[in-house]
Amino acid sequence: MSLLPRSFDVKPGEKFDVIIIGMGPAAYSAALYSARYMLKTLVIGETPGGQLTEAGEVDDYLGLIGIQAADMIKVFNKHIEKYNVPAIMDTVESFRREGDEYIVKTKRRGEFKADSLIVAIGVKRRKLNVPGEAEFTGRGVSYCSVCDAPLFKNKPVVVVGGGDSALEGAELLSRYATKVYVVHRRDEFRAQPIYVESVKQKPNVEFILNSVVKEIKGDKLVRKVVVQNLKTGETRELDVNGVFVEIGFEPPTDFARQNGLEVDNHGYIKVDEWMRTNLEGVFAAGDCTGMWLGFRQIITSAAQGAVAARGAFTYLTEKKRKK
């Protein structure tokens, strides 16, 4: 089984019933369901697995007990290959409507046409925007505990955030690092209690609550992090070599607006219960949508992908009937 999906034989300019933009769990699920509805389907995305590439062991997807994320991606590829769905790795720059079809413009492979689109582009990581963050990215500052934890064996680190990513990250890092400081701006956690409880049991983890990172300092590598207590105003310097920024994600507002998709108050793509967007024949699924905001799971993304494919099938069937 491969980590890369098969592209089969896709030619620029080729027309499809559905083009799925993205390559995370929502996109794979949409591809599977579209293919099972016998729609001619193409997947275009940058990274097979999307954010799943940043996960370690996954134990909350029903039926796949304790599976490694990489193995999960291989299984997803195998499943869409069974239905001969081509998937090409490329960046979708934009899409536009011409007549009653959509033209999808990619960075490297030219344009493709479709009667319907499913946008499943996910989200991008949020930055702290403090001095030193950009300078030390890749030199101690990381946005992915799961990817980089082993690099900090026997070193002290900071994890910033109070959500699932931060707490899951702190749990993993506590197995490698000498010391893990969890810096969170409040004294309550957004993370699921199971993660918080697990981290609280770790002897080498210290919580620094009601606090924010003000600056990251170092020479060639990170050496110190300046933290400020929001209640007292006091600052403290932590001697660390790693800073894991796990403070959530930015919505895909720019891509959405540039392509005429309406967004909600939080900047996520607006969808209805059939994952329909404001554009006729365009559906959206997964983390890029405003659906179930605050509960982002592989299984919920997969569910949205399936519903979007069903929406596309209904739309295309109606369209044919009216002709």
- Span from 33-41, 64-72, 255-263, 288-296 in contact with ligand NAP (CB under 6 A): 288-296
Which residue reads 């994600």 in tokens? 249
CA torsion 71-75-76-81 (nearest 10°) is 140
In the complex, least distance from residue 183 CB atom to ligand NAP, rounded to whole angstroms: 8
Residue nearer to ligand NAP on the CB measure, 178 or 300: 300
Rounded to 5°, the CA angle 244-71-11 comes to 100
Residue nearer to ligand NAP on the CB measure, 59 or 98: 59
Site string for ligand NAP, 212-241 (x = CB under 6 A): x-----------------------------
Considering only residues 13, 295, 321, 322, which one is a binding residue for ligand NAP as defined by CB under 6 A? 295
Tokens 């559906």 — which residue? Answer: 283
Tokens 């300092």 sit on residue: 217
Site for ligand NAP, residues 42 to 71, rule: CB under 6 A? 60
For 227, other C-beta atoms within 10 Å of its C-beta total: 20
Query: What are the φ/ψ torsions at residue 199 (nearest 5 degrees)?
Result: -70, -35
Which residue stretch of 173-181, 221-229, 232-240, 244-252 sits at the interface with ligand NAP (rule: CB under 6 A)? 244-252
- Binding flag, residue 140, ligand NAP (CB under 6 A): no
Determine which one of 60, 71, 90, 147 is catalytic. 147
Q: Do the Cβ atoms of 184 and 161 come closer than 8 Å?
A: yes
Which of 185, 310 has the CB closer to ligand NAP? 185
- Specify the stretch interacting with ligand NAP by CB under 6 A; choose among 14-22, 40-48, 163-171, 254-262: 163-171
Beta carbon of residue 56, minimum distance to ligand NAP (angstroms, whole number): 10
Tokens 């919920």 belong to residue: 300
Report the residue number, 124 or 179, with the smaller CB distance to ligand NAP. 124
Q: Is 288 a catalytic residue?
A: no
Site string for ligand NAP, 143-162 (x = CB under 6 A): -----------------xxx
- Say how many residues touch ligand NAP, by CB under 6 A: 23
Give the nearest distance from C-beta 116 to ligand NAP in angstroms. 28
Catalytic site includes residue 147: yes
Q: Would you say 285 and 261 are in contact if contact means Cβ atoms under 8 Å apart?
A: no
- Of the listed pieces 98-106, 202-210, 246-254, 256-264, which binds ligand NAP according to CB under 6 A? 246-254
Alpha-carbon span 234 to 228, nearest angstrom: 6
| Cβ closest to ligand NAP, residue 166 vs residue 306 | 166
Examine the residue annotation and report whether 9 is marked as an active-site residue of this protein.
no
Residues 37 and 34: their CA atoms lie apart, in Å, by 5
Which of 9, 71, 100, 148 is flagged as catalytic? 148
Nearer to ligand NAP, 86 or 163 (CB): 163
**Candidate segments 165-173, 219-227, 236-244, 255-263, binder of ligand NAP by CB under 6 A:** 165-173
In whole angstroms, give the CA distance from residue 186 to residue 242.
22
Residue 249: CB minimum distance to ligand NAP, A: 6
What residues make contact with ligand NAP under the rule CB under 6 A? 60, 126, 128, 160-166, 168, 185-186, 190, 212, 246-249, 294-297
